[in-house]
Amino acid sequence: MMANEDYVVVKALENGVTIIGLTRGEETKFHHTEKLDKGEVMVAQFTENTSAIKIRGKAELITEHGKVESE
């Protein structure tokens, strides 16, 4: 499986925003977790191992498809 070139920018709008990476394959599992405080930014890329990310907390997400805010 080839890695996708899609990037996601996550900007924390409050302290304690959690970003969780989820694996590809037969079983979806958590494989990586990051915590961001207000104003911190993380750039994430989907890879051969990462098929999805889950965001907990208030954050702005920016992708090539547009912007969205989590609540």
Predicted confidence band at 2 (pLDDT cuts at 50, 70, 90)? very low
Predicted confidence band at 22 (pLDDT cuts at 50, 70, 90)? confident
Q: Is residue 50 part of a domain?
A: yes
Q: Is residue 27 part of a domain?
A: yes
Quote the CA–CA distance of 70 and 32 in Å, as a whole number: 19
Q: Where are the alpha helices (DSSP H) in 1-71?
A: none
3-state SS assignment for residue 57? coil
39, 46 contact by CB (below 8 A): no
Residue 33 belongs to what domain range? Answer: 7-69
What pLDDT digit, counting tens, does each position of 42-51 carry? 998 877 777 7
Give pLDDT, residue 1. 39
Q: Is residue 62 part of a domain?
A: yes
Predicted confidence band at 69 (pLDDT cuts at 50, 70, 90)? very high
Q: Is residue 2 part of a domain?
A: no
Q: Count structural domains, the chain.
A: 1
**With 70 as the cut, is the pLDDT of residue 4 above it?**
no
